[in-house]
Structure 1
């Protein structure tokens, strides 16, 4: 196939990989999309228009060279496509699965705007890298030369792991500290298996460990080791903790048994997928089986919760969101998947409080109806309460998926000189990711606020390059 044979979007329709029917996929936590056959991947990649200004690449946080690796895939040059994809993205098989492509690359595809249906970029990206793993094209991390400098990374999520990969390939000694017993952060314990099967994450972590990255797990900075001790041990430190403090409601009976946080609920479910002992799940506290579930929120975490509850065997699953469908922050693709699986969305509603039974456990949500009023400072229409329209929604498991905020790291780590913004996020320079503390960098959600995995990967890669430049300085001074 030549480049001139690429522009097949007029004759070939968009076709996603086969999606398992809802009645089958809700019986397990396996991914819902199958894999392209080789011929189908080549055909779909060949729909790319190879436009002169690739908006897909512009709207990708990593600026992946999408048109070129689509062309290579269409030409059957898959190993080259993988190599090109890997140049800009540390974890393409993960981004291919969980990036909201409908809001990023695919949503800005030129042929999508022209009405022909977007190129299925995410599905092709997943196919390329899954094939690379199967064929042995993903090479071990083997630095050409070892270096004596060491970097400590706090947090084993996507930002920290992306930085660890880049630093280790340059021969730097890397130690990653994380509070959990497995690395991966929310990729491991937050995102459900039906979006990101856990072996996909574990194979990258195994690659890093095999390549010489040291993981210190079950390690709470500030308790098991001080931040100052980590600084003293390493030539540079990268903070990549993410944001794990759940936003909460102020409402009557919000603390009643049966009203739980999304992070606790999703973590329990993912731990069970690993075969762990999870008493809170086994007792029913964090298990939706046989229960009437209400999820509060409209982001991707809320979508993860409603779809998890369906798979656990909930009697009913409803999602309350204070705005309408067009204004929800979560992926429209995920919303559609949830609706296919039986989730009911109750738009323009919010909880006013909670009803409890004789034992004090939650038995319902007092729901207030909302309408969209005048736009706020961002141009988004603000929800307003419709007085006198309250009703009670029966529920014995309420999951709060209201987003996440940063923990107060300066206080937790006894580092008052670590500068934070008024939102509590760490203040770091946008181009280098340096903080106000010498030799300390910060990336990902702890700087941005709750955001996407792909942005954390970009931050981690950029910070690694900045750290490498910093570590070169003493050698430069000595040479002069």
Structure 2
């Protein structure tokens, strides 16, 4: 009977939840999509083909059982759908909001490939878990018994949160240390509210607290507490710090006043949205109101910056990217939303110099047009400058959104034995996720480089399993050692 309700893609068109008009959403930082109506969510879920080989699931980093919870949703069995969804994902309502589904599950949907347009997987995923929260089905994962071991997690972002929940469910005493005053990492301070309203993250943090996870905000490992002291306190350590070091412009004028890093800009905006007083925002330094804004970069962080500037009341907002739209790394949906909201994209262009006035304040960006040449080692065509094609754009505020790199953790932690790769990420054994230091593991961006939240959740879950295996094996070995010594 359930299968009869599926495969409705031939009679139902793809439909997303209602998107608020651009002129309305420019005025606030609320999420741009309204909630899915139950009947609409059920209908959209019923479009699923229930493929024998579910490419949506295969191309999900978490391997979510997407066809199963789509079928349950189509049949109104939402509590079961939530149980299936949350079995593989520690924050499905967050992934449903911010995952680039067009590049992952929905982009791999057979219906998308056959021109019937994909099932709206992300929107249904969000609907399932938002309903679960409203109905009280989301409960803390408390252990049946304490196991007597403890784990210290450095970093309260998605990787750290996912690992914390998994380890706590196994009976570990879990302590999460984060340098910021709020837990959530980039979910709180990096991603604007129009993509992810902060209460969504805050209720997840409270859920972990209710399960017994202990958070230590304002704790900067290497400064507030030493890495060595942390190791002495716990049976294992997970490094899940993320990557926060911004890549910077190297062109002339990069040091002018009015040039800022993307995360500095986004953090200020998010803090203001949560009720904090930010001096640089109050003074206008990090407020785009009445300014000509130029954002340099083409990833999702750049999209967050341009859309934030629009909402702050900028006179104009331009996004400069050295490749064309088809070759940009960010989500195409985010680009479309930005265009609707009034952002102007300057494709195939790169900054050549930032120009300033007598007070060393930025006034313009001089750029040069590019063309795509031969493919580089990654397979992407390399952008090449077109001689004599320079042009100038007025700019009162320039935001660098060129990506992130790892901080020098061996120096930061005063732990020279912590090995890193040539990219600066923490080096781990690919099977155990253990670093060069026994009992110290790594997960998320600090291990794989700047990536997606869904990959961080995946890494956190995997790390929790490896930590459990390590601690359990070490405890068994330590227990058998005296007996073996006595027998000998």
- State the TM-score, normalized to the length of structure 2: 0.97
What's 1:362 paired with? 362
Q: What does 1:242-281 align with in structure 2 at a 5 Å threshold?
A: 242-281=242-281
Asked if 1 retains the 8 angstrom alpha-carbon contact of 2:287 and 2:312, the reply is: yes
Gaps in structure 2 of 5+ consecutive residues: 484-488
Match of 1:439 in 2: 439
Match of 1:471? 471
Kindly provide the CA deviation profile for residues 160-202 of structure 1, in whole angstroms up to 9, marking residues without a partner as x.
Answer: 0000000011110000000100000000000000000000000
Matched residue pairs, number?
A: 480
1:115 matched to which residue of 2? Answer: 115
Q: For each residue in 1:52-107, what CA deviation from the matched residue of structure 2 results, as whole angstroms up to 9, or x when unmatched?
A: 00000000000000000000000100000000000000000000000000000000
Tell me, in whole angstroms, the C-alpha distance in 1 between the residues paired with 2:88 and 2:137.
16
Q: Deviations over 1:290-334 (max 9, x none)?
A: 100000000000000000000000000000000011100000000
Q: State the match for 2:426 in structure 1.
A: 426
1:474, CA displacement in angstroms? 3.7
Native 8 Å contact 2:182 2:217 kept in 1: yes
CA displacement at 1:430 relative to structure 2: 2.3
Distance 1:336 1:283 in 2: 32
Matches within 5 A, 1:61-100: 61-100=61-100
Cα distance in 2 for residues equivalent to 1:392 and 1:10: 50
Q: Describe how 1:81-480 pairs up with structure 2 within 5 A.
A: 81-477=81-477, 478=479
What corresponds to 2:46 in structure 1?
46
* C-alpha distance after superposition, 1:258-303 (max 9, x if no partner): 0000000000000001100100111111110110000000000000
CA distance in 1, matches of 2:210, 2:273: 24
2:486 is matched with which residue?
Answer: none
The alignment partner of 1:354 has SS state of strand
Task: Please give the alpha-carbon distance, in whole angstroms, between the structure 2 residues aligned to 1:454 and 1:429.
Answer: 21
**CA distance, structure 2, for counterparts of residue 222 and residue 2 of structure 1:** 55
Whether the 8 Å CA contact 2:5–2:75 is kept in 1: the answer is: no
Distance 1:254 1:475, change over 3 A: closer
How much does 1:212 deviate?
A: 1.0
Alignment-derived partner of residue 25 in structure 1: 25
Separation in 2, partners of 1:24, 1:423: 43
Q: Tell me whether 1:6 sits opposite 2:6 in the alignment.
A: yes
Equivalent position SS for 1:102: helix
Q: What's the CA shift for 1:3?
A: 1.2
Q: Give the CA RMSD over aligned residues.
A: 0.9
Give, in whole Å, the separation in 1 of the partners of 2:436 and 2:334: 39
Residues of 2 paired with 1:476 and 1:174: CA distance? Answer: 21
- Distance in 2 (alpha carbons) for counterparts of 1:255 and 1:172: 47
Deviation at 1:431, TM superposition (A): 3.0
Alignment partners' CA distance in 2, 1:348 and 1:81:
44
Counterpart-to-counterpart distance in 1, 2:425 and 2:283: 36
Shift of 1:475: 4.2
Deviations 1:196-252 (A, max 9, x none): 000000000011112111111111111111111111110000000000000011111
State how far apart, in whole Å, the 2-side matches of 1:135 and 1:222 are. 42
Q: Distance in 1 between matches of 2:474 and 2:376?
A: 50
Distance, in Å, in 1 between the alignment partners of 2:335 and 2:430 is: 32
Output the CA distance in 2 between the equivalents of 1:439 and 1:188: 29
The answer (yes or no) to whether the contact 2:5–2:74 under 8 Å persists in 1 is: no
SS in structure 1 opposite 2:119? coil
Cα drift, residue 138 of structure 1: 0.4
Q: Distance in 2 between matches of 1:77 and 1:214?
A: 34
Q: SS of the counterpart of 1:9?
A: helix
List runs of 5+ in structure 1 lacking aligned partners: none
CA distance in 1, matches of 2:176, 2:140: 18
Q: Compute the TM-score of the two structures, normalised by the length of structure 1.
A: 0.99
* Partner SS for 1:469: helix
Shift of residue 4, structure 1, vs aligned partner: 2.3
